[in-house]
Amino acid sequence: MAQNDTVTRILDAAEVLFAEQGFAETSLRTITAKAGVNLAAVNYHFGSKKALIQAVFARFLGPFYKLIEVSLDMHEKQHPDSVLSIEDILKFVARAMANVTEGDRNRLAIFMRLLGLAYNQGQGHLRKFLQTEYRTLYRRVMALIARATPELQPVERYWRFHFMLGAAAFTLSSMEHLRAIVEHDFNTKCTEEEVVGYLLPFLAAGIRAK
């Protein structure tokens, strides 16, 4: 078994189990059993459980980060003086996310669950890790939003941005669960795309309130 294979199998298993159960609730024994690798392999390849958690995130964030940067770069090159609307900005983010999780429909929900968990659980190392990884992108997106909502005070814009983030993170991370309720209560199935289709107008209207 090539190194690449074992590492990937561990990351795949950990990603799913973390999202299903949380970080503390998932043991290395469960992960390695699901991955079909030796228990000691996690510490051999990653050094610790903490480092494994960060590696699971890095595998999502890296491509997402690059994709959105590249697509923003491209747009700015093609339309140097255009001011993006909130809807445009949200579409850029949504498209990058869809592309990163493409191929496996479940990964979007997993990604958001992990994000939600990271914010609420094990506070320390993960939040710091995310903040340093995200800082440049965060500033860039914030600057775009500021240009799209010149009427807002900075502090109010900051809060509204986090209201959007919260609505998105909470909903997408509980997507599976919420969709089951929809199916039960309304006899309708919702695809991820449809939910995102509902979400974006909500967010755009919210940030433009009043």
Partner DNA sequence: TGTACATCAGTGAACGCGCGTTCACTGATGTAC
Our finding on whether 2 is near DNA (CB under 7 A) is yes
Q: Report which DSSP code applies to 152.
A: S
**42 vs 100, which CB is nearer to DNA?**
42
Q: What is the largest CA-CA distance in the chain?
A: 59
The listed partner (DNA, a second copy, none) that binds 120, CB under 5 to 8 Å by sort, is a second copy
- Six token digits for residue 168: 């998105």
**77 vs 177, which CB is nearer to a second copy?**
177
Our finding on whether 143 is near a second copy (CB under 8 A) is no
The listed partner (DNA, a second copy, none) that binds 71, CB under 5 to 8 Å by sort, is none
Spatial separation of the C-alpha atoms in residues 152 and 130, rounded to whole Å: 27
Residue type, position 146, single letter: A
User: Footprint of a second copy on residues 101-130 (CB under 8 A)?
Assistant: 113, 116-117, 119-123, 127
- Which of helix, strand or coil describes residue 174? coil
Our finding on whether 178 is near a second copy (CB under 8 A) is yes
- Which of helix, strand or coil describes residue 102? coil
Print the binding letters for residues 47-66 with DNA: x by CB under 7 A, - otherwise: -xxx----------------
The string of DSSP codes covering 54-119 is: HHHHHHHHHHHHHHHHHHHHHHHHHSTTPPPPHHHHHHHHHHHHHHHTTT-THHHHHHHHHHHHHH
Contacts with a second copy, residue ranges (CB under 8 A): 20-22, 24-25, 113, 116-117, 119-123, 127, 154-156, 158-160, 162-171, 173-174, 177-178, 181-182, 185-186, 188, 190, 195, 198-199, 201-210
